[in-house]
Amino acid sequence: MTKKMLLREYYELCEGGVCQDLLTEEEKRFVSNGGMILSGRMQTAGVKNGNGRMYRRPILEREVKNYAKLVRERRALGELDHPEDSVVNLKNASHLVTEVWWDGDDVMGKVQVLNTPSGQVLRSLVDSGVKLGISSRGLGTVNENGDVSEVNDDFQLICFDFVSEPSTPGAFMIKEAKEEPNVFTEADKINRILNDILSEG
């Protein structure tokens, strides 16, 4: 019998543009009060990643469904860096995944950075513009199929960690910024022009 091994996949944080306007009103208030939320792609089904592995959609759907229960219970913690462990250590927790959903073959998510020692390091790195990765950690076996290692049905998703070495291009997360009340939108500019015209008439 093949022994289960720790499977870790790496995804890049986004520099912008992929996941704008994902925040709820409550999350916007959290960010405007100084909190940090990151959002974007966390995993992809059906494609070979930089580690040479491929996760079939049915396997990821099952595991994301199981993981969503942890998310709802606010127990979906992750760490900064990738430990050689199948357990999330609370003393090293840096973030909490607050939402996961599917967008095509991509698993998307929102991550709240915690006010813990590791979370403060993560926040400082993001604020400094350091390019980080989001990485899944799980247990399972693989089946070699040519140049692809297909992850088997025994895969169990453990968590998502932040790491320095991404392996999957195009899988990005972004820092959600607070809304600036003094920034004019296109609608604001049109209204101002119309008001100026009416006041002159």
If one counts every other C-beta atom within 10 angstroms of the C-beta of residue 164, the result is 14
Q: Which amino acid is at 146?
A: G
72 and 61 Cβ atoms separated by less than 8 Å: no
Tell me the two tokens of residue 141: 């076996």
CA distance 10 to 135: 4
Q: List CB contacts of 18: < 8 A, sequence separation 6 or more.
A: 40, 41, 172, 174
Q: List CB contacts of 191: < 8 A, sequence separation 6 or more.
A: none
Hey, what's the torsion of the CAs at 76, 80, 82, 88, to 10 degrees?
Answer: -40
Q: Which residues are catalytic?
A: 82, 135
Q: Which amino acid is at 191?
A: N
